Amino acid sequence: MSPHTQALHDAGQSLWLDQIDRELLDRGTLARYIAELSVTGLTSNPTIFEHAIGHGHAYDEAIGHALALGLRDEALFFELALQDLTRAADLFRPTFDASSGRDGWVSLEVSPLLAHDSAATIEAAALLHARAGRPNLLIKIPGTAAGLVAVEQSIFEGTPVNVTLLFSREHWAAAAEAHLRALERRRAAGLDLKVASVASMFVGRWDAALSEGISPPFHNRLGIAIAMRTYRAHRELLASQRWQRLAAAGAQPQRLLWASTGSKDPRSPDTLYVEALAAPGTIATLPESTLLAFADHGRVGAMLPADGGYADAVLDEFRREGIDDDALAARLQREGVAGFVSSWGALMGRLREKCAAATLDPAWRQPS
C-alpha cells in the first residue's frame, strides 16, 4: 500500500488510471493498483487504445476470433475495447457498489469522427453502454458544440457520460449546463435523477502549448490557474439553489475530473499537477507512469482553495504577456479532437494490417 496515494484517497480525491491494455488485465496489474495504490476508476481514449492494440501481439488472438465473426474496422475495435473495459468494470464493481455509484467507473469514448454529429453520437452512446451491460461504464463524449447537445440528450435518456476535451472554465460551464438541463428534464418527466456524469478538464496541455513561446518564469503555471478558476466555479455551482433543488430530489453532482496530469516538461516534477490539484470531491486521472511516480514520492499538501486562490492574478499576468486564454482554449479543443481523429485513423490502419495478416495466415487467426 502506498501511503502517498492513500493520503490523496483519504483527502477525498479519487484516483483513476488513464490507461488500459490487455496485459494490464492479464498480468493482474490493474487488480494490484486497485489493492495497493488506491485506484478507484479508469479512463481510456483513442490514443491509449491505438498504442495498446496497434503495438505488440496481445490482441492477436482476440482479433482472430472477431474476424471469424465477420467483424471489421470500427466494429472490430469496439468489440476489443469492450472486452477490456467490461473486465475492468468488473474489477471496479465492488468500489462502485460500496460508493453507491459515486466511484468505480471506467470510460469508453465514442468514435472521434462523431465529434460534430449530435444525432450519431447520441445513438452510439446508447448502443455502446447497452452492449457493455455494466452499470459502471461511462461513455465519453467531447465537449464540442455538437457533443454538448449529445451530452444533454444522452443523460436525459439515462446514459452515464464523461464529458471530455474541456479546457477552460467556460468549457466546463457549458458541460455543467448540459448536465443540469438533462436532470431538470428528467425531473419534469418523473424519471430517476441518479444518472452519473463527470466533466474532464485537461490541464497539462495548456503548459505544453505555451512552452516554446513564453519566458521561463511563466512555465507550467497557466494550466493550474485555469484548473483553480474552474474549481471555484464548480464549488459555486454546488452551493447554488438550482443544484440544491436537484440534489434534494436525488441527483448526484457531475464530478470534476482533472485530465492530462502527466508532466510534459522534463524540468518540472513528475508529480506537479497531481500535487497542485489535490481537492476533495474531485477525480485525478493519472497515466501509469505518473501514478507510479506519485505512489513512490508524491506529496499531499494543502488542498486546492475553494475560492480559486491566486488563479485570477496568474491569468492577469499571462494576459499582460499577450496570451488570449479564450482563444487558446478553443484551439486546444480543436487540436484535441484532431489528435483523437489522427489516433483513430492510425488504429484503424493497424487493425486492417492485422486483419490482412490473419487472412493470409489462417493459423494466425485460428489459435489453438
C-alpha cell at 265: 516538461
Give kind and range of the element (H or E) at residue 299: none
Tell me the per-residue pLDDT of 104-153, one tens digit each, with 9 for 90 and over.
999 999 999 999 999 999 999 999 999 999 999 999 999 999 999 999 99
Q: What are the DSSP calls for 115-155, one per residue? A: TT-HHHHHHHHHHHHHHHT-TTEEEEEE-SHHHHHHHHHHH
322: left (phi over 0), alpha (psi -120 to 50) or beta: left
Share of the chain above pLDDT 90, in %: 91
Q: Is the residue at 363 inside a domain?
A: no
How many independent structural domains does the chain possess?
Answer: 1
Share of the chain above pLDDT 70, in %: 98
Using CB atoms within 10 A of its CB, is residue 261 exposed (0-12), middle (13-18) or buried (19+)?
Answer: buried
Which pLDDT belongs to residue 360? Answer: 60
Tell me the per-residue pLDDT of 324-340, one tens digit each, with 9 for 90 and over.
999 999 999 999 999 99
Task: Please list the residues that pair with 257 across neighbouring strands.
Answer: 200, 283
Tell me the per-residue pLDDT of 192-215, one tens digit each, with 9 for 90 and over.
999 999 999 999 999 999 987 788
Which pLDDT belongs to residue 211? Answer: 83
Which pLDDT belongs to residue 362? Answer: 57
Q: Is the residue at 340 inside a domain?
A: yes
Q: Is the residue at 312 inside a domain?
A: no
pTM: 0.96
Q: Is the residue at 228 inside a domain?
A: no
Q: Is the residue at 66 inside a domain?
A: yes
Q: How far, in Å, CA of 368 to CA of 365, rounded? A: 9
140 catalytically annotated: yes
The CB density around residue 212, as the number of other CB atoms within 10 Å, is 6
C-alpha cell at 164: 471530455
Q: Is the residue at 214 inside a domain?
A: no
- Of these residues, 140, 194, 264, 354, which one is catalytic? 140
Average predicted confidence (pLDDT) for the chain: 95
Q: What are the DSSP calls for 187-231, one per residue? A: HHTT------EEEEEE-HHHHHHHTTTS-GGGTT-HHHHHHHHHH
Mean pLDDT calculated for residue range 247-253: 98
The model's confidence at residue 368, banded by pLDDT at 50, 70 and 90, is very low
Q: How far, in Å, CA of 111 to CA of 120, rounded? A: 10
The model's confidence at residue 365, banded by pLDDT at 50, 70 and 90, is very low
- Given a cut of 50, whether residue 367 has pLDDT beyond it is no
Instruction: Write out the residue range of the structural domain in which residue 344 sits.
Output: 3-206+235-302+326-358
> Cβ contacts of residue 86 below 8 Å, gap of 6+?
132, 133, 134, 137
Tell me the chain's radius of gyration from C-alpha atoms.
Answer: 20
- Given a cut of 50, whether residue 289 has pLDDT beyond it is yes
Return the minimum-mean-pLDDT range out of 51-55, 74-78, 79-83, 174-178. 51-55
**CATH number, domain at 174?**
3.20.20.70
The CB density around residue 38, as the number of other CB atoms within 10 Å, is 22
Comparing CA positions, the residue from 300, 224, 310 lying closest to residue 265 is 224
Which pLDDT belongs to residue 55? Answer: 86
Q: Is the residue at 310 inside a domain?
A: no
Task: Please list the residues that pair with 137 across neighbouring strands.
Answer: 106
Alpha-carbon 13 to chain mean position? 15
Mean pLDDT calculated for residue range 22-47: 97
Q: Is the residue at 367 inside a domain?
A: no
